Amino acid sequence: MEKLSIARGIVQYRFPPAEGKHYGFNITALLDEGAKQALLIDTAYEEEAAAVRGALEAAGYTIARIVISHFHPDHVLGLNALPEVPILGSPRAEETLSQFGERTEWERFLPTLPVNETDTVEFGLFRLRFRFAPGHSACSAYTLIDDGFIHVADNVMTSNAGQDILPWAAYDLIEAHIQSLEMLRESASRTLLLSHGIMLEDADTIEAAIANRIEYFRAILEGEGRISYEEATANCTCDFLHKEWLIRAE
């Protein structure tokens, strides 16, 4: 685990990829230095969440709240290491979680504090707002942190070395994903915090990341989900990792 200082009161705990994968895991922590409390964004798996909890407790912090950017297993299973901590997230969480077994297996991961786009969450010196950004999942949401940062869930992913990772969405959510990426352009003056990969803060880099993903998605739609990776990325300026995630129409 690597601890990165992003700004005063914002740290990111970064974990390496699992064997055979290119994407690692980030758990972002906002620190209320006066109250000695932390708010986490995402939890990865139980092992990663337990490591972050241990590091924070060693520094004298307790975990007071958790924001889940979207409810895929690699974002929520860490909640098993963080029992009884209030969970903030999209009211559409159940749509995603219901894909992963019986209700008894996942209902403990549902938000205890569902958030809406009109909500503002105050935590220490931080002010958080939310924008629903479906695509990668129906429940994906951006978390705006003050005026300087935006956590983008998995709508943009890179390796820990910064190489772009092929975006994924169910075929019928591609249009929604494009709209969410267009919305992200409106916040491109902020630093992008990723659940998987590096922090993006250069405007040209952010624009390229958004544009390449939109180009890919549009090509998939134009090809009706039946084209090759090379055809789908012909107008992109990067070579994506995880080509096996190429979206196909069902």
**CATH number of 27's domain:** 3.60.15.10
CB 168 within 8 A of CB 247: yes
In this predicted model, what pLDDT tens digit does every residue of 178-228 receive, in sequence order? 999 999 999 889 999 999 999 999 999 999 999 999 999 999 999 999 999
Percent with pLDDT over 70 in the chain: 100
78 lies in some domain = yes
Q: Which domain holds residue 80?
A: 2-159+187-200
> Phi and psi (nearest 5°) for 214?
-65, -45
Task: Report yes or no on 95 lying in a domain.
Answer: yes
Asked if the structure places residue 31 within a domain, the reply is yes
**Assigned domain for 13 exists:** yes
Phi-psi region of 101 (alpha: psi -120 to 50; beta: other; left: phi over 0): left
Domain assignment present for 242: no
Q: Which residue type, as a one-letter code, is found at position 190?
A: R
**Model pLDDT for residues 102-138, shown as the tens digit of each residue:** 999 999 999 999 999 999 999 999 999 999 999 999 9
Given this model, what pLDDT does residue 250 score? 76
Q: What is the pLDDT of residues 203-216, one digit of tens each?
A: 999 999 999 999 99
Per-residue pLDDT tens digits for 72-90: 999 999 999 999 999 999 9
pLDDT, residue 68, reads: 98
Task: Please state the pTM of the whole predicted model.
Answer: 0.96
Considering the domain boundaries, does residue 140 fall inside one? yes
Q: How many domains does the chain have?
A: 1
